[in-house]
Amino acid sequence: MNSKCWMKPHTRVLKDIARAAQLASALEVSGYPKPGNVHRTSDIPESTFEQFIASAIAIGPSLLSVTRNGFLAGRGKLELSKIGIGKYISEAVSETMRWQRNGNTNLGSVMLLVPLAASAGMAIGERGKLTMRALRHNISRVLRSTTPADAVGLYEAVLAAKPAGLGKLEKLDVNDPKSRRELIKRRISAYEVMKICSEWDDVAREWVTDYSITFGFGHPRLKEIYRRTRCINTTTVQIFLELLAHRPDTFVSRIKGRKIAEETSEKARIVLKEGGMLTKRGRELIAKLDSEFKRRDINPGTTADLTASAWMLTLLEGVRP
């Protein structure tokens, strides 16, 4: 039977999965005033709010394609190794570069959202419905089934985005043209690459821990904050601060050093002790912290990526702005 026939009854839900990832990206960047980040009331010298919104829209087709492949894998019509995680991460970043004039606006979030979209599509293919338990189980299966071709896709995405503070692999440096040939020759999968990178990058760490921060902390806390406040913006900024307090931001650590990253987390904890977004005093301190971080060029970008992945799970459960 034609794959389109298998998908037709589920077309709407597959589109909704892709849209949830896009909306998660948009909600994350819209939250204000997230300290140190681009948000709707503040740009940074390298990036504007509009560029991040353009990026959230640009990744839609790639997310839908990988969701459909996940669905086919769930139906047993496509091997897990052929879902194309690396291909669609690379494609999403390339489309991002076409639709805005900045460099890296979303590499980390794309690396988190693409596997989530594939895994959600897979759950629909297997069960006709989506649960968080099935989604996390599928994340493990999908990522451990990645291939050397997926690793090449990751490298291509990184080269296109040119992120700051990139960690360096001793023998497989992303900037070395020979590295992509070595990935294929030595049969090194995307999962294995991320396992190495997980020592200094929490996006990579999510890959090899079945999204331990997203599922274990970010998503449940975000749901609780939204349940209490019923305010999207309050929820976005509050969960960002809680994630930052939970773990030092690895992007800040690579750019500014571990000491500054730990100091940044401590400042988030101080603000949260005053109530964060939930009190007038907390909101005043958040605004001051945003100004301070921007003055010192401290940008907790990995925390923003984790905020987006936590939002995607919540949107998949039915929450709407």
Q: 69 vs 23, 157, 194, 204, 313, CA distance in Å?
A: 21, 20, 22, 22, 19
From the list 51, 61, 28, the residue with the least C-alpha distance to 97 is 51
The predicted model scores a pTM of 0.95
Spatial distance between the Cα atoms of 107 and 205, rounded to a whole number of angstroms: 15
Q: Is 196 a domain residue? A: no
| Mean pLDDT over each residue of the chain, to the nearest integer | 94
Q: Is 176 a domain residue? A: no
- In this structure, are 22 and 149 located in the same domain? yes
Collapsing DSSP states into helix, strand and coil, what is residue 215? helix
Q: Is 73 a domain residue? A: yes
Number of Cβ atoms within 10 Å of the Cβ of 108: 26
pLDDT band at 174; cut points 50, 70, 90: confident
pLDDT tens digits for range 39-64 = 999 999 889 999 999 999 999 999 99
- In this structure, are 155 and 228 located in the same domain? no
- In this structure, are 123 and 256 located in the same domain? no
Asked which of 163, 182, 205 is the last residue of a domain, the reply is 163
- In this structure, are 156 and 225 located in the same domain? no
313, burial (CB in 10 Å: exposed 0-12, middle 13-18, buried 19+): buried
pLDDT tens digits for range 209-244 = 999 999 999 999 999 999 999 999 999 999 999 999
Number of Cβ atoms within 10 Å of the Cβ of 12: 8
Q: Which domain covers residue 54, as residue numbers?
A: 3-163
- In this structure, are 101 and 228 located in the same domain? no
pLDDT band at 129; cut points 50, 70, 90: very high
Q: Is 101 a domain residue? A: yes
Q: 302 vs 99, 146, 259, CA distance in Å?
A: 22, 23, 16
Count structural domains, the chain.
Answer: 2
- In this structure, are 155 and 237 located in the same domain? no
Spatial distance between the Cα atoms of 192 and 180, rounded to a whole number of angstroms: 14
Q: Is 65 a domain residue? A: yes
Which tokens is 75 given? 């139906």
- In this structure, are 140 and 224 located in the same domain? no
Spatial distance between the Cα atoms of 59 and 92, rounded to a whole number of angstroms: 5
Spatial distance between the Cα atoms of 214 and 239, rounded to a whole number of angstroms: 11
The one-letter amino acid code at 89 reads I
Q: Is 157 a domain residue? A: yes
pLDDT score of 77 more than 90: yes
pLDDT score of 179 more than 50: yes
Spatial distance between the Cα atoms of 283 and 286, rounded to a whole number of angstroms: 5
Asked which of 95, 129, 163 is the last residue of a domain, the reply is 163
Collapsing DSSP states into helix, strand and coil, what is residue 31? coil
pLDDT score of 1 more than 80: no
Q: Is 229 a domain residue? A: yes
* Average pLDDT, integer, range 298-318: 98
* Average pLDDT, integer, range 194-205: 96
- In this structure, are 133 and 224 located in the same domain? no
- In this structure, are 80 and 145 located in the same domain? yes
Q: Do the Cβ atoms of 201 and 250 come closer than 8 Å?
A: yes
- In this structure, are 36 and 98 located in the same domain? yes
Q: Is 11 a domain residue? A: yes
- In this structure, are 14 and 114 located in the same domain? yes
- In this structure, are 256 and 139 located in the same domain? no
pLDDT tens digits for range 286-297 = 999 999 999 999
